[in-house]
Structure 1
Amino acid sequence: MNIYDISKKAGVSIATVSRVMNGNARVSEKTRQKILDIIAENDYTPNAFARGLGLNTMQTIGLLCADSSDQFFSRAVYYLERALRANHYDAILSCTGPDYDTRTEYLKRLLAKKVDAVILIGSSFIEAVPERNRYIIEAAAEVPIIILNGYLKAPNVYCSLCDDQEIIQQAASACLEHGRQELLFLYRADSYSGRRKLEGFKEAFAAASLPLDSRRIVLFNGSIPETKEKLLSLASEGLTFDTVIAGDDELAIGALKYAKAMNFDIPSQFAIIGYNNSQLGICCEPELTSIDNQLEFCCNNAVAALMSVLDGKPAPGKTMLSANILQRGTTDFF
């Protein structure tokens, strides 16, 4: 039995069956019960396509992320899928990798599946060159686009993100105020988030009227062991640094490995600040001071905004959340 059979047997339209299956109140109680009885008698389970008939909705949201094995992305997918499920929506996940052409192609594929909206997870989807964001703007002409941890001002685009710039500025300023002037900023990608973090780092030095050696800004996309080796290489080249502020916890753990290899006392001789407040931060010794970017709240806010949009209600194009610094064993001055 399919949705057509149910509508025929109940003597109602396909749209009416769809409304009942989606909990729409615009059906009389008598008709609703009649349809539910037919569904129960025939043990019918609607598929996504059937749910979409008559209501112009598939009750399905597309999720795009670069790499679901990354701790930040995997946690974001978990929080988003949980919030969507609570609102009776399914999710389709696609992992694009870092390639720009692949991202644009996967977004087109999701739209072809007639999803109700798409959530872009991570700031890497936002390009520094405006023209390269055209594919997002074009997609937003078809369905609402939600961007998590990034910002793009465009019609039908809604962004939920953390104020990376402000919190990195606060962290770096606190280091400088406590005499830690040999800071190193280590970040992974020239993404929207990465650029905002870098601006915060620069602002701290400008506010303190201190010069900033460009060698203290390191763009490096490596594993934990590779990060350790990178820092050992920088030290061997004569660059001295007593504090690392990292763009994510994995890079920060690499810095911790470096400090231990150099036999530095942590945190008195060498301090480390990570980002994302991931599980990695409590799996090391000493435990890692990390910035909590409020990921769960960010995801819940993104889904709440999306539900408002899908319900025909207004939603802010940009919601900026404040982050917190969680001091653990790799710093002693917050």
Structure 2
Amino acid sequence: MNINIYDVSKKAGVSIATVSRVLNGNAKVSEKTRDKVINAMKELDYTPNVFARGLGLNTMKTIGIMCIDSSDIYLANAVYYLEQELRKYNYDSILCCTGKDYNNKKNYLELLLSKRVDGIILAGSQFVENTSEHNNDYIINAAKDVPIVLVNGYLDADNIYSVMCNDEEAVYNATKLLINNSHRNIVYLYTSTSYSGMNKYRGYLKAINEAGITLPDEFHHLCGKNISHARDYLTYLYDKGMKFDAVMTSDDSIAAGAVKFAHTHGTRIPEDLEVIGYNNSVLSLCTEPELTSIDSKVEELSSCAVSVLMKVLSGEDADNHSIIAADIIKRNTTIF
């Protein structure tokens, strides 16, 4: 039987964070609590490993990073900033690009644990399953051994920390700006049903419902994270005679597709069609006109994720759920 700090915390009747503090020699822990943890470790014959920095044992000074697709612009930036931040703390990193397959994600997480990493950062929202919650057990079980930080994901479990952009509020505010600019036929194109993806979708629906606007189901559409997919879907609506005067999106790539649609059909942007992207990526500067986009603060999210993880590893108090506020970057695809 493999004993981990989760077992120690249960045996001692304290939190995982408290066990971490004891192992790191944190002065905030009372002698009574420290003795309870040490006695629990002895009874369980537990040998600390990755949390044992304060005891001078075999920390690897290495963090595992997992992402779905390193070719994705947002995730590539996240990985870059995460590695830069980790270097500031003299940590190395191991990167695993898992794809979307559940078994691959699970196997790569187990691989990182076998490498005895000190902690794991899951970059992107597609590691947490919304529909099959038991599929999150592999993350919850891994967190019994090492702290896990989710960047743009949320999972309520011990030793798991999340750092999020306020996606719902950001899309809500952007959609409200379109509504206040007299738009009533606003298409919403999104790429994911992940935790972050559904928060964005809820923001759009909230703004539409508050304004008393009723739209056909075709006006909110899950499409591939691909410029041509968005262009082709808007062409489909156009050919059906379904008129729309604004497009709100969950990613700059599909907002760029909306711009391509407009060029193809002689639709003026922003006079006839306003478009808003998401992530404020390099794509927002590559279209003509340049895209208004929501800046989801990937650099700040990454910095915050590493800061949270470093606090946990040093036995300090860390927020379980951190939220970063997004900004709307106004360019030339909107009039507001």
TM range (shorter): 0.7 to 0.9
2:269 to 266, 269, 273: 266
Structure 1 match to 2:83? 81
User: Which residue identity is paired with 1:80?
Assistant: L
Give a deviation string over 1:77-131, Cα, whole Å, max 9, x none: 0100000000000000000011111111111111111000000000111111322
> What pairs with 1:5-154 in structure 2 (closer than 5 Å)?
55-128=57-130, 129-154=132-157
> What pairs with 1:184-195 in structure 2 (closer than 5 Å)?
184-195=187-198
User: Which residue identity is paired with 2:195?
Assistant: Y
Structure 1 match to 2:293? 290
Bigger RCO (CA 8 Å, 6+ sep): 2
Q: Would the aligned equivalents of 2:122 and 2:151 in 1 still touch at CA under 8 Å?
A: yes
Gaps of 5+ in 1: 1-48
Structure 2 match to 1:22? none
- The 10-residue stretch of structure 1 (61-70 or 211-220) with the greater mean CA deviation from structure 2: 211-220
User: Which residue identity is paired with 1:207?
Assistant: E
2:248 to 232, 245, 264: 245
Structure 1 or 2, whichever has the larger Rg, is 1
Specify the SS of the correspondent of 2:139.
helix
Specify the SS of the correspondent of 1:123.
coil
- In 1, Cα distance between equivalents of 2:241 and 2:92: 54
Give a deviation string over 1:235-262, Cα, whole Å, max 9, x none: 2123221111111101110110001111
Structure 1 match to 2:201? 198
Specify the SS of the correspondent of 2:126.
helix
User: Which residue identity is paired with 1:200?
Assistant: G
Specify the SS of the correspondent of 1:244.
strand
Q: Would the aligned equivalents of 1:255 and 1:272 in 2 still touch at CA under 8 Å?
A: yes
Give a deviation string over 1:282-310, Cα, whole Å, max 9, x none: 12211100000111111101101110000
Structure 1 match to 2:176? 173
Q: Would the aligned equivalents of 2:223 and 2:229 in 1 still touch at CA under 8 Å?
A: no
- In 1, Cα distance between equivalents of 2:304 and 2:202: 25
- In 1, Cα distance between equivalents of 2:323 and 2:102: 26
Matched, 1:157 2:190: no
- In 1, Cα distance between equivalents of 2:235 and 2:212: 29
Aligned residues: CA RMSD: 1.8
Gaps of 5+ in 2: 1-49
**What is the TM-score normalised by the length of structure 2?**
0.82
Aligned-pair identity (%) = 43
Task: Kindly state the Cα deviation for residue 219 of structure 1 after the two structures are TM-superposed.
Answer: 0.1
- In 2, Cα distance between equivalents of 1:256 and 1:70: 20
Task: Kindly state the Cα deviation for residue 63 of structure 1 after the two structures are TM-superposed.
Answer: 0.3
Structure 1 match to 2:315? 312
Is the alpha carbon distance of 1:222 and 1:294 closer, same or farther for their aligned partners in structure 2, counting shifts above 3 Å?
A: closer
Is the alpha carbon distance of 1:302 and 1:222 closer, same or farther for their aligned partners in structure 2, counting shifts above 3 Å?
A: closer
Specify the SS of the correspondent of 2:182.
coil
Q: Would the aligned equivalents of 1:291 and 1:325 in 2 still touch at CA under 8 Å?
A: yes
**What is the TM-score normalised by the length of structure 1?**
0.83
- In 2, Cα distance between equivalents of 1:119 and 1:196: 21
